[in-house]
Amino acid sequence: MNAQAPKGTADMLPDVARAWEHLQRVAQELFARYGYEPVYTPLFEHTEVFTRGIGEATDIVSKEMYTFEDKAGRSITLRPEGTASVVRSALEHNLTANGAQAKLYYAGPMFRYERPQKGRMRQFWQIGIEVLGAAEPTADAEVIAVLWRYFEALGIPAENMRLLLNSMGDESCRPAYRDSIAAYIRDHAVGLCEECNRRADTNPLRAFDCKNPACREVMGEAPLLRDELCGACATHYAEVKAHLDALGIPYVEDPSLVRGLDYYTRTVFEIQVDAGLGSQNAIGGGGRYDRLMEAYGGPATPGLGFALGFERTLLAMQAAGVEVPAPPRAEVFVARVDDAVTAEVFALAQRLRDAGIAAELDHQGRSLKSQFKQADRLGARFVLVVGPDELTDGQVTMRDMSTKEEKRVALGSAPAEVAAALG
Ligand code: AMP
């Protein structure tokens, strides 16, 4: 058997798993202050949810999805991102019926068949929020503020972050712009790579995302949507910026920021961090998707949100020297002098745990000396030593691991003594 995890996946061993839980805890606390509620959707969906929502011509749908037939011949896809599922779910359960607003957040694994590299996995973990039913620019500024504040709350310094902002227009101004970019690509066919040439027919705006330096240079001269936004989009964009200015959240306008999904309309944004990340420097991003619910056959419902990636966020935290708080694995270790007292040791550990104290004991028949070593390794502040002699007096020895002081305490009140000593 091959004991290695599949390419592009990684086990979350305790240090990393603890970091993931920390990220979720910070998210829960912060997002709740903004009125977001948790939602869990399935890890797989009918393939259509993604092909219709994200768009056939996107990289995600055309190249990166884990799609398979289930035993009944249905086409099923492991979710490559969270928004499509949340919007599908909101439609199914009428969360935005009669103009209601839904504010939701999620956290969990996503799956994309990408070429793995630092910060790019085939199974990766995202946290995201979605606001459905809100068209006002305050909602855009709020979503961006939540993302910004979240990274700040994790300890990533503002000066490490760069918030890029753009407007992708809507159905009244984007189609004409799309056509003009397609025409621009055809006019500059020789200077652009094969893929960008193909994009003229499929997804012209994606040519702005090409990493090829020659393409970047050519696309750097292309007309910008910013200059061709319709009045309503221009006003919306200006108001989003004004709200961000009022909050003091610094942003950089990047007219070439298009992001890889078809469903975006108007505001798009991304937060990049260079320190600690290679080319995969976008730690989170999102935007508005006012037509997505209609694409699923639902009523016109504006919406927007963001998703941030756990792996890259953790790299950014490490680069900033942020440590994820790790509680001691044991506050107290219950050691036994010999096997005769095993039952008492086990019972005492349980009483400590019932009293809310993190307590450990030996399950491997180790000597007293190596039990002390283990207590040290686990970070225990106290060791309760249980021996036949002490027990005859109804007592145990309590040792303070930092001062090395020892005292006898009554077996019955040992949990209370430890709790008092731990403060
Ligand atoms: P996206 O859904 O593509 O907008 O990505 C949102 C965030 O998810 C990115 O900023 C990354 O932090 C993270 N992300 C996206 N794709 C991957 C991947 N293949 N591996 C790790 N993180 C990813």
Residue whose tokens read 């249980």: 386
Give the pTM: 0.93
Domain boundary among 271, 288, 319: 319
Domain boundary among 319, 341, 360: 319
Buried b (16+ CB within 10 A) or exposed e, 155-184: ebeeebbbbbbbbbbbeebbeebeeebbeb
Q: Is residue 135 part of a domain?
A: yes
Is the beta carbon of 284 within 6 A of some atom in ligand 1? yes
Q: Name the residue with the closest Cα to ligand 1, atom 15.
A: 309
> Tokens representing 12?
């979350």
Q: Name the residue with the closest Cα to ligand 1, atom 11.
A: 309
Cα(406) to ligand 1 centroid in Å equals: 53
State which of 312, 314, 315 you would mutate to test the pocket of ligand 1, scoring each by most atoms of that ligand within 8 A of its C-beta. Answer: 312
CATH of the domain at 393: 3.40.50.800
Q: Which atom from ligand 1 is nearest to the alpha carbon of 114?
A: 19
Whether residue 240 sits in one domain with residue 100 = yes
Q: Which atom from ligand 1 is nearest to the alpha carbon of 284?
A: 10
Closest CA to 253 of 183, 164, 177: 164
**Domains: count for the chain:** 2
Whether residue 337 sits in one domain with residue 312 = no
Torsion, CA 226, CA 229, CA 232, CA 237, rounded to 10: -10
Cα(380) to ligand 1 centroid in Å equals: 39
Cα(309) to ligand 1 centroid in Å equals: 5
Q: Is 19 exposed, middle or buried (0-12, 13-18, 19+ CB in 10 A)?
A: buried
Buried b (16+ CB within 10 A) or exposed e, 271-281: bbbebbbeebb
Whether residue 381 sits in one domain with residue 262 = no
CATH of the domain at 79: 3.30.930.10
Is the beta carbon of 112 within 6 A of some atom in ligand 1? yes
Range of the domain at 402: 332-422
Torsion, CA 385, CA 388, CA 393, CA 396, rounded to 10: 10
Is the beta carbon of 19 within 6 A of some atom in ligand 1? no
Partners of 130 in the β-ladder: 104, 305
Q: Is residue 88 part of a domain?
A: yes
Return mean pLDDT, the chain. Answer: 95
Q: Is residue 182 part of a domain?
A: no
Query: Which tens digit of pLDDT belongs to each residue from 13-38?
Result: 999 999 999 999 999 999 999 999 99
Is the beta carbon of 89 within 6 A of some atom in ligand 1? no
Closest CA to 267 of 187, 170, 155, 194: 170
Cα(121) to ligand 1 centroid in Å equals: 9
> Mapping DSSP to helix (H, G, I), strand (E, B) and coil, where does residue 293 land?
helix
Instruction: Round to whole Å and give the CA distance between 350 and 354.
Output: 6
> Mapping DSSP to helix (H, G, I), strand (E, B) and coil, where does residue 9 land?
coil
Whether residue 272 sits in one domain with residue 249 = yes
pLDDT computed for residue 283 by the predictor: 97
Whether residue 58 sits in one domain with residue 89 = yes
On whether the CB atoms of residues 165 and 241 are closer than 8 A, the answer is yes
Q: Is residue 201 part of a domain?
A: no
Q: Is residue 222 part of a domain?
A: no
Is the beta carbon of 81 within 6 A of some atom in ligand 1? yes
Whether residue 110 sits in one domain with residue 239 = yes
Cα(396) to ligand 1 centroid in Å equals: 54
Whether residue 164 sits in one domain with residue 116 = yes
Q: Name the residue with the closest Cα to ligand 1, atom 10.
A: 284
pLDDT computed for residue 59 by the predictor: 87
Q: Where are the beta strands (DSSP E) in 224-357?
A: 252-253, 265-273, 282-288, 303-309, 332-336
Instruction: Round to whole Å and give the CA distance between 116 and 135.
Output: 37
Q: Name the residue with the closest Cα to ligand 1, atom 21.
A: 120
Q: Which atom from ligand 1 is nearest to the alpha carbon of 310?
A: 12
Q: Is residue 218 part of a domain?
A: no
Cα(244) to ligand 1 centroid in Å equals: 24
Query: Which tens digit of pLDDT belongs to each residue from 284-314?
Result: 999 999 999 999 999 999 999 999 999 999 9
Q: Is residue 367 part of a domain?
A: yes
> Mapping DSSP to helix (H, G, I), strand (E, B) and coil, where does residue 210 land?
coil
Whether residue 265 sits in one domain with residue 314 = yes
Q: Is residue 382 part of a domain?
A: yes
Domain boundary among 272, 296, 319: 319
Closest CA to 164 of 304, 310, 281: 281
Q: Where are the beta strands (DSSP E) in 201-323?
A: 252-253, 265-273, 282-288, 303-309
Whether residue 144 sits in one domain with residue 25 = yes
Whether residue 410 sits in one domain with residue 359 = yes
Whether residue 275 sits in one domain with residue 362 = no
Residues of the chain with pLDDT under 70: 260
Q: In the chain, what are the helix, strand and coil shares in percent, each to the nearest 5?
A: 45, 20, 35
On whether the CB atoms of residues 256 and 223 are closer than 8 A, the answer is no
- Ordered strands of the 252-253 beta sheet: 37-38, 102-111, 123-132, 303-309, 282-288, 265-273, 161-167, 252-253
What is the total residue count of the chain?
423
- DSSP H helices, 55-193, are 59, 83-92, 137-153, 174-187
pLDDT computed for residue 37 by the predictor: 98
Whether residue 345 sits in one domain with residue 299 = no
